[in-house]
Amino acid sequence: LLKDKGFHQYEISNYSAIGEFCKHNWKYWDYRPYLGLGPGAHGFNGQIRYANPRNLNAWTSSPGRAQSSEAHNPIIDLFLNIFRITVPIRLDRITEIWDQQSWTEKDRKSRWSALMNSLEKMDRENLGILKKETFQWSLAGLKLLDTQIERLVEATLQPEQ
C-alpha cells in the first residue's frame, strides 16, 4: 500500500518519500555514534551504549549520568543495525567498523570469510543480492530478516579457524 502511494521502504520498519528518509534514524542503521539527551533517551558513543533515567526527577538530579550502560558487541550490534536497511549495504562499512576492534588479524580474516560465505549462500538462496561492494536483501530475505540476521551473527561470532 505504501509503495503504491509513492513511499520507499529504506529500513525494515520505516518508509519515506524517495530521498526523504529520517536522517536522525540513519545514524542507528549506519552504526554511527549518536547523543541521547533527556529523560529516557539512549545514546551510543561508538563503544558504549547508554540509557538515561526515564524519570524526570532522577534525570534532573544527575544529568549526564546514565542509568545503564553496556559495551557494544561489534558483531551483534552491527547486524541488528546495518542489516535492517533495505537499500544496498556497503560492505566497506563493515570493514570500517571491524577494523576498529582489537581482534587479531586471523580473527578478522576468519570473521570476514564467514560473513562472505554466509552472504554468498543467502545470494544463492535468493534471500539477498551480493555484488562486489554491496549486499541487499531481497523481498524473500526481508520476510525472514530476523532469522537471516541470526544466521549472520552465529556465523561470525564463532567462525571456523
- Read off the pLDDT of residues 109-141 as tens digits, 9 standing for 90 and up: 999 999 999 999 999 999 999 999 999 999 999
| 135 neighbors 91 (Cβ within 8 angstroms) | yes
- Is pLDDT at 104 greater than 80 in this prediction? yes
> Bridge partners of 89?
135
- Residue 84: per-residue pLDDT: 93
Which is it for the CA torsion 16, 21, 25, 30, positive or negative?
Answer: positive
| 1 neighbors 19 (Cβ within 8 angstroms) | no
16-68 pLDDT, tens digit per residue, is 988 888 887 888 888 889 888 888 888 888 888 888 888 888 888 877 666 77
- Extract the C-alpha cell encoding 128: 539477498
- Is pLDDT at 72 greater than 90 in this prediction? no
- Is pLDDT at 161 greater than 60 in this prediction? no
